[in-house]
Chains A and B, each alone.
Chain A
Amino acid sequence: MRTIIFRTVAPYLTSLMVLFSIFVLLRGHNEAGGGFIGGLIAASAFGIYGIACGVGPVRRAMYFHPMSVAAAGLMLAVLSGVASLVVSAQFLTGLWAFPQILGSEVAISTPLFFDIGVYLVVLGAISSIALALEERDTD
C-alpha cells in the first residue's frame, strides 16, 4: 500500500491517533475509555503506519521490540499493585496523590499506572501481532 498519497498522510495520521490513544487512556478513569481501548487505538495507529510505510519504520518508531513493550506494561501493572504492599495495604489498593503542578491539581495514582500498564501491554502485543503478520506478507 505504498502509494505516495497514503505514505504522505499516514505518519501524521499515526501521530494523531497515538495522541488520541493517550487521551483515551488518561481520561478512561472518568469517562469512556481506558488503557485497553487506548492501547488498541495506538496499535491501530502503528498498524496504519506499517501498512503505509512498511514494517521497518514501525519497528524503529517503537524503538523497543513490541513484546518488550508489552512485558514492560505487565511489569508496570503488577508493580503498581505491589506499591500498596509497601504501605501495608492489601494488594492493588489504590494510592492517590494530588500534587499541584503549575497551579493545577494533577491526580497521580496507582490505578493510573495500572491502566498505563494495560495500555502498553495491548499496544505491544497487538502491534507485535500486526507486525509479525505484516512482515510475513511483505517479504
Chain B
Amino acid sequence: MNLHDFAVAFFALALTGALVLLCIAFLLTVTRILLGPTLPDRVLGLDVLTNVAIGFIAVIALDSGYTLYVDVAIGLCLVGFLATVAFARFILSRGKTEHLRREARAGIDAEAGLSGGQRP
C-alpha cells in the first residue's frame, strides 16, 4: 500500500466516520430540540442543527465530489444566523407580556425538574 492508496482509503474511511458522527449529532440535537425544556434551549438546538447540517453538506460534497454544494452551506450559514437572531428577538419580545412571563416561569420550573411542555 503506497501513500496514495493509503490517503485515498483513509479519506474514504474518514468520510464514513464523519457521516456516522454527524448522524449521531443530528440525533442528539433533535433530542435537545424536542426535550427543550425552555425556548432558548430549543433555539440553541436549532443553531447547532444548522452547524451540523453545514458540516453534513460539506461531507456530502466531499463524498460525492460535487464541491459546488459549498454554496448551499454558505446559504445555510447566513440564514442560520438570521434564524438565531430572530428567535433571540422573539424570546426577548415575548418576555414583555405578563402572560408570557408566566410561561417563562413555567419554563424555569420545568428546568428545575418538572416535565417540559405539558402543562394545562
Contacts and interface: CB of A to CB of B under 8 A. Distances in A.
Interface of A: 1, 6, 13, 17, 20, 24, 31-33, 37, 40-41, 44-45, 47-48, 51-52, 137
Contact of B82 (A6, A20, A37, A44): A44
Contact of A47 (B72, B82, B88): B82
B101 to A, nearest CB: 18
A19 to B, nearest CB: 12
Contacts of A41: 75, 78-79
B102 interface: no
Interface in B76-119: 78-79, 81-82, 85-86, 88-89, 92-93
Contact of B71 (A1, A13, A33): A33
Contacts of A1: 85, 88-89, 92
A20 B78 contact: yes
Contacts of A24: 71, 75
Given A1-B88, A51-B89, A137-B93, A32 B72 contact: yes
A20 B79 CA distance: 12
B74 interface: yes
Interface in B49-71: 68-69, 71
Interface of B: 68-69, 71-72, 74-75, 78-79, 81-82, 85-86, 88-89, 92-93
Contacts of B82: 44, 47-48
B103 to A, nearest CB: 18
B78 A17 contact: yes
B73 to A, nearest CB: 11
Given A51-B89, A137-B93, A31 B81 contact: no
